[in-house]
Every structure is written in C-alpha cells, then in structure tokens.
C-alpha cells in the first residue's frame, strides 16, 4: 500500500521568524517521538499531516529563500517553474542515450549520486547534473524513461576534491524530491525506503537519515561513518589530477583526530597506515579516543581506531602478562615502548573486563573508555595490531586497513574476509587515505604552517635555492623583496613550475593570448619577454636558463601578489581547487 500524498507548501517569503527557525522546527519535528512529520508551511505556520521525511533545507549564508522541489509535481512540470532551479535539458535525441524500460517493469527505482568523473566523462550518463552554483539540469526524465537507476552527478572542475556548498545542498534537495516521488508510487520503497548509492559522499547524513534511505547491499555491513569515509576517498578518483593540500584533505578521513605524539619506533609508514584506519572508522570529532559505536554486526567498536573486543583481548593475550598480570613483565614492556608509561596490572584487568563486555555486545561508557583504554594505550595497541596484520597480509596499507576493519585479529583474518564487497571497498579507500596521509607528512613543516605542493629535492631544489640566493643578495642591496628559502616558498615555486612548464626549461608557448600578441611565455615559470626584462637581475639575462627564469618569475610574483602564497594558482590549490595561471 503506497504512502498517502503529503500536503505541503513552502512560503519562501522571509518573515520575522526567518528561515533558520523554520528549519529548526522542521528538523525538531522530524525526530519527535510522535512520528508525525508530514507538514505544510503557510506564512511560517506549520501543520503536521501524516508520516514522512522533512524537506525544509536552511538557506546558505547570504540567501533568504528556502528552495524546494514540489514532490507532487513531475520533473517536467517542476522544470517549467524557473524559480525552482531545475532546468529541462531533455531532448528526443538525448533520450536515446538512456535505457527506456517498458511500462510493464514495476520494479522499484534506486538513486545513485556521484561527483563528475573527468577522466571518464562518458562513463555515466546523468539524468540530473548538479552544477557548482546549485542549478540542476535534467538531461533525462527518469519518470518518462521508467528508469530504475536514477543517476545524479555533481559538476566539478579538474583538481576539485570536494563539492561546493551550493551543489551539495542542491543534491540534498534533489535526492529528497526523488525519494518522495519514488515512495509515493512504489509500495516496496514506502515500506523499506529508497536505496541510495552515494558513491562520493555527496549527500548529507541528515538527508539520508530523515528520508530513511538505505544503502546498497555491498555497504550494508558498514557503519554510516565508514560509508561516508569510503565515499570521501572515492572523490580522489576521476578528478583529472586531484591536488591534495592540507586544507582540502582536512575534510576527509580523520587526520586531525590524533593528539598523541609519535611513539618510539613508530615509522612514517606505520603512522600513515594508522591514519588510514582511523580515517575509515571516522571516530567522533569532539572526543575521538572515547568513541563508542555499534557495528552492524551487533558488536561494539571503540576508540580512535574502532577496536573490537576481540582485537583488544587478542592483543592482551599476545603480551603474555600472566594471570594475574606480572608487574615485572609490564615494566619491561613499558621500557621496550610496547606499553605506555603508567600501565599497571590493575589497568590490564580493567581492560580485559571491558573487552569481555564488548564481546557480549555491551557498550562501554565514556568513563570506562578513559580509565581502561586511554589514548596513549590506543596508539600503542594500534601500532602492534597494524604490524601484526602487516606480517600476515604483507606491506600493503590497503589490505592492512581492510583487515583491521573486519574486527578480527592478526592470524584470524582469511582471504575470504578480504574478498567481501565491503572489504574490497575498504581496501581501495584505505590505500587512498594512506596516500593522503603520506603526502600530508611530506607537506607539513616544523613551524606548523601548511605547505602547498611538494617541497622539491635534488637538482630541482638546488636550482630554486640558487635563484633565491641571487634574489636575496639583490634584496640586501635594496633591489626587490627578500624571499626566504622556507619549505612553503620552495614548495610554492615548485608547484608553479610543475604546472606552468612541467620543469621543461626550453618550453615556449606559441598558442595562448600572449603568443598572439607577439610575446610568448617561455621557460620554467613561463614568463613573457617584457616581464622577464623588467624583473631579471644583472648577469641573469637568458630567459630559457632555469635559474634566470626563476629569478625573474619569483621577483615578479612577489612584487605583484605580495608573497608566493598569494599567487592565484597557489591559493587555488590550497583551497582544493584547480591551479590557475599567474
């Protein structure tokens, strides 16, 4: 039996209450114990009517109106109202690119959302394309086509890792609209929810929760947090060369949740693998080391890394502390760096009791976590378990993270465990997060400032440093600004050269607007003749000489933009956007 149609109207006229209060009321009602969240808006007044998800979405900063696709109207009809932000781009020719299912096919449609794959642009033919500015284009009407997998794709530029706020909000609105349309027509969806495959974590958790959407079969054994982590890692595919500055990758994984110093003998590789594991588990932001979460298998997962009771007990057994725990053995393990200072026999007993409790499906409390499994102990335990999986599955960060996520211990994980649909996804996502963690290690400096790009080494570093020595010698004589050879500046210059010339010193651009004016861009930093001549230094007159070109290019950039970090291309990459010329 299909769900009754929802009567609702959105009055977008701002009133004294403001849209944020309406949004707050709508969300509050959605989670109320009454279960009645069908509503209509009339001049700011709400009336609850039946059961179903809330659709009100608060405006972005600077906007005043709430935008909403009316689920009572078919897509083609919604597109007729330009105020709705849905543009009809369908055509008879375009429809032939989509599979049209016969009307006799009454199977329930599902929704798939992904970010644009710039490396394989024809891989997905979207029914709906969500532009970066929030406009939604309909290229295939899923209802006229009787489509069973409605494809929603979010636009992105080369190098973009994250969707824009407007695109993400529009995707939420569209998914809510499509979900309502499907549930009102198909009894199975009304009862069980609409299946949503959110490949790149483009749909908000609130939208999935409030609309009671269900994940695909290959993700049903993941927590919502881990599904989001896999989706965020997937964003790195299809971006046509993703730039991964710290500011951009701060929003994926869980890289900022560690607040314990590096342990003795903890290698860069171990540290990056642990960051990948934490990134897949995605602990609570406010108290990552005190996270307590129920896994779909019914068992508890705790801490920054999502330890299972089984893993904790097996780790304890591997220490061979004895029964009761031997204080002398504990002291020796502390000395070896395998246990944190302050670990005692009583703490070992408390930890064993907590692990046994977790094995029965019981959830430990926050206080219990702090006492029995403090953060420094979690780091020691994660290192040992990670190294144990390394011995079993090899030095493969993706496989290690997938093994950790099973909740089993080293020696227990089988090839079958790593061949499940969720493990294959964890393996791929874990490897990507490991790569990000490794790059973040390479792009952090001792002074804590973020580095955009990679710090050059070898001959490239020597060439840049030689140019900076000449620049700074001139600056000491009052000719230009000094440019310190900091990791940030070295990385910025390296980034500009990589994007402008791919480190080809003799390259000449004969096809751009400068070339048409008779002044083609030349050399490592692609300077034009007049710019080079205005900013070169005495004795450095060859525009195709690597050092001479860098001298002129850097002096020009610093004079025009104030610093290398303010160069447009460097700023863009720092924000997770595509590089742009300077």
- Structural domain ending residue among the three candidates 192, 214, 236: 214
Looking at the fold, whether 250 and 334 belong to one and the same domain comes out as: yes
Any domain includes 520? yes
Instruction: Report pLDDT for 340.
Output: 86
Q: What is the pLDDT of residue 304?
A: 97
User: Measured between alpha carbons, how far is 301 from 298 in angstroms, rounded to an integer?
Assistant: 10
Mean pLDDT value across residues 424-441: 87
Same domain, 297 and 154: no
In this prediction, residue 129 carries a pLDDT of 96
Strand ranges in 267-315 using DSSP code E only, listed in sequence order: 292-294, 300-302
Rounded percentage of the chain residues whose pLDDT exceeds 70? 84
Is 122 part of a structural domain of the chain?
yes
pLDDT digits (tens, 9 = 90+) for 266-308: 888 999 999 999 999 999 999 999 999 999 999 999 999 999 9
Q: What is the pLDDT of residue 238?
A: 57
CA distance 17 to 308: 47
The answer to whether residues 78 and 205 belong to one domain is yes
Q: How confident is the model at residue 56 (pLDDT cuts 50, 70, 90)?
A: very low
What percent of the chain stands above pLDDT 90?
59
Q: Is the pLDDT of residue 5 over 50?
A: no
Measuring CA to CA, how many Å separate 495 from each of 57, 231, 454, 488? Answer: 39, 28, 7, 10
Q: Please enumerate in sequence order all residues whose Cβ is within 8 A of that of 290, keeping only pairs 6 or more positions apart, or say none.
A: 284, 303, 366, 369, 370
For 101, the domain range is 70-214
Cis peptide before 402 (omega within 30 of 0): no
236 lies in some domain: no
Better-scored residue on pLDDT, 397 or 262: 397
Verify that 275 and 422 share a domain, yes or no: yes
Instruction: Kindly list the distances between the CA atom of residue 422 and the CA atoms of 227, 230, 312, 523, in Å, as whole numbers in the listed order.
Output: 9, 10, 22, 48
The predicted structure's pLDDT at residue 534? 95
**Domain end call among 41, 68, 95:** 68
Q: In this structure, is residue 447 part of a structural domain?
A: no
pLDDT value, residue 62: 52
- Does 395 lie in the same domain as 355? yes
Distance, in Å, from the CA atom of 155 to the CA atom of 176, rounded to the nearest integer, reads: 19
Q: Which whole number is the average pLDDT over 240-267?
A: 71
Average pLDDT over residues 135-141: 95
Nearest-angstrom CA–CA distance, 542 and 560: 22
Number of domains the chain is built from: 4
pLDDT at 66 over 60: no
> Do 63 and 80 reside in the same domain of the chain?
no
Whole-number pLDDT of residue 442: 61
- Is the domain of 410 the same as that of 492? no
- Tens-digit pLDDT profile for residues 363-420: 999 899 999 999 999 999 999 999 999 999 999 999 999 999 999 999 899 999 999 9
Residue 27 lies in a domain: yes
Does residue 126 lie in a domain region? yes
Residue where one domain finishes, among candidates 172, 198, 214: 214
pLDDT digits (tens, 9 = 90+) for 294-347: 999 999 999 999 999 999 999 999 999 988 889 999 999 988 878 888 899 999
Residue 245, pLDDT score: 52
Residues 343 and 472 both lie in one domain: no
Q: Are residues 163 and 191 in the same domain?
A: yes
Q: For residue 41, is pLDDT > 70?
A: no
pLDDT at residue 26 greater than cutoff 50: no
Residue 580, domain member (yes or no): no
158 and 47 in a common domain: no
Q: How many CB atoms within 10 Å of residue 333?
A: 17
Question: What pLDDT, on the 0 to 100 scale, is given for residue 31?
Answer: 31
Is position 557 within any domain? yes
pTM over 0.75: no
Q: Are residues 397 and 483 in the same domain?
A: no
pLDDT-derived band at 61 (thresholds 50, 70, 90) equals low
Report the mean per-residue pLDDT for the chain.
Answer: 83
The secondary element (H helix, E strand) that includes residue 45 is strand 45-48
pLDDT confidence of 140, banded at 50, 70, 90?
very high
pLDDT in tens, 466-490: 999 999 999 999 999 999 998 889 9
Same domain, 26 and 95: no
């Amino acid at each position: 039996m299909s769900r009754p149609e929802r009567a609702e109207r959105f009055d977008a006229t701002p009133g004294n209450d403001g849209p944020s209060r309406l949004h707050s009321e709508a969300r509050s009602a959605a989670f109320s114990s009454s279960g009645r969240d069908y509503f209509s808006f009339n001049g700011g007044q709400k009336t609850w009517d039946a059961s179903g998800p809330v659709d009100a979405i608060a405006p972005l900063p600077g906007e005043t109106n709430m935008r909403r696709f009316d689920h009572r109207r078919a897509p083609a009809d919604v597109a007729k109202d330009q105020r709705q932000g849905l543009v009809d781009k369908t055509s008879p020719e375009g429809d032939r690119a989509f599979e049209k299912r016969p009307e006799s096919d009454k199977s329930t449609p599902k929704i798939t959302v992904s970010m644009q794959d710039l490396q394989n642009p024809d891989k997905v033919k979207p029914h709906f394309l969500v532009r970066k500015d929030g406009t939604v284009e309909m290229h295939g009407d899923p209802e006229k086509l009787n489509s069973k997998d409605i494809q929603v794709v979010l636009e992105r530029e080369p190098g973009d890792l994250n969707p824009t706020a407007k695109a993400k909000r529009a995707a939420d609105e569209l998914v809510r609209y499509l979900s309502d349309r499907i549930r009102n027509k198909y009894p199975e969806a009304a009862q069980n929810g609409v299946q949503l495959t959110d490949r790149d974590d483009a749909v908000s958790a609130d939208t999935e929760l409030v609309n009671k959407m269900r994940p695909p079969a290959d993700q049903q054994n993941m927590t919502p947090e881990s599904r989001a982590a896999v989706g965020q890692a997937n964003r790195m595919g299809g971006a046509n060369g993703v730039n991964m500055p710290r500011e951009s990758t701060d929003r994926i994984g869980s890289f900022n949740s560690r607040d314990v110093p590096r342990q003795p003998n903890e290698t860069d590789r171990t540290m990056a693998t642990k960051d990948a594991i934490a990134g897949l588990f995605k602990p609570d932001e406010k108290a990552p080391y005190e996270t307590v979460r129920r896994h779909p298998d019914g068992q508890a997962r705790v801490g920054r890394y999502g330890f299972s009771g089984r893993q904790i007990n097996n780790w304890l057994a591997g220490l061979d502390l004895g029964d009761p725990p031997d204080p002398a053995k504990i002291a020796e393990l502390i000395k070896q760096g395998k246990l944190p200072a302050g670990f005692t026999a009583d703490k070992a007993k408390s930890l064993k009791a907590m692990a046994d409790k977790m094995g029965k499906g019981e959830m430990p409390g926050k206080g219990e976590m702090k006492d029995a499994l403090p953060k420094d102990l979690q780091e020691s335990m994660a290192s040992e378990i990670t190294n144990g999986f390394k011995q079993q599955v090899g030095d493969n960060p993706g496989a290690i993270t997938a093994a950790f996520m099973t909740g089993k211990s080293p020696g227990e994980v089988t090839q079958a465990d790593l061949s499940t649909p969720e493990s294959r996804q964890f393996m791929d996502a874990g490897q990507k997060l490991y790569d990000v963690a490794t790059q973040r290690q390479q792009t952090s400096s001792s002074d804590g400032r973020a580095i955009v790009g990679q710090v050059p080494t070898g001959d490239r570093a020597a060439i840049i440093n030689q140019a900076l020595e000449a620049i700074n010698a001139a600056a000491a004589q009052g000719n230009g600004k000094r440019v310190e050879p900091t990791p940030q500046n070295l990385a910025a210059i390296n980034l500009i050269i990589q994007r402008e010339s791919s480190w080809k010193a003799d390259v000449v651009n004969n096809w751009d607007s400068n070339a048409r004016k008779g002044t083609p861009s030349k050399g490592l930093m692609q300077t034009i003749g007049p710019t080079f001549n205005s900013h070169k230094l005495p004795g450095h007159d060859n525009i195709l000489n690597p050092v001479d070109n860098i001298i002129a290019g850097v002096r020009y950039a610093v004079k025009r933009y104030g610093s290398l970090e303010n160069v447009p291309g460097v700023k863009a990459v720092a924000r997770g956007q595509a590089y742009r010329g300077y």
